[in-house]
Amino acid sequence: MLQKIIKTNFSSRGGRFAIVASKYNSRYVDAMLRAAKAEILRAGGTVKIIRVPGAYEIPVVAAKLAHQSTADSKISAIICLGVILRGATTHAQHIGEAVSNALAQIQIQHEVPVIHEVLLLENEQQARERCLDKKHNRGTEAAQTALEMARVMKSLRG
């Protein structure tokens, strides 16, 4: 069941965020991207947006961003956005699993939060509900998670 988004009051003055977003299924991804960007900017953070052809290409860019993140120019979090719709074959499942595994490894290896909103969905109805509906937009949720994780990681650094 989808939960309604609750507005948070996270502040991220000086926070640097990257969003890696797929061009594939752009109608849905673009809506998540707009919502995520707006939420980060509302909190006072800055956003760098990188577009890639499809969901499968997201991890390599996320890894490069995490690798380039240094103490001087630390990325607060990387938000990964994509929509994979199941078809008649198992291709979508393979892509979804590969992306999930890669994103988990990137955040562990580089100690940079990687927010996984590469959605593996059954149909366009689910995509509309999760991406186009403002009450349930997963882009907003991804940004809120990124803001919270940035705060957690900052507190751990001391």
Q: Please list the active-site residues.
A: 91
42-62 burial, b if ≥16 CB within 10 A, otherwise e?
bbebebeeebbebbbbbbebb
1-21 burial, b if ≥16 CB within 10 A, otherwise e?
eeeebeeeebebeebbbbbbb
Mapped onto helix, strand or coil, the DSSP state of residue 30 is: helix
Contact 95, 56 (CB under 8 A): yes
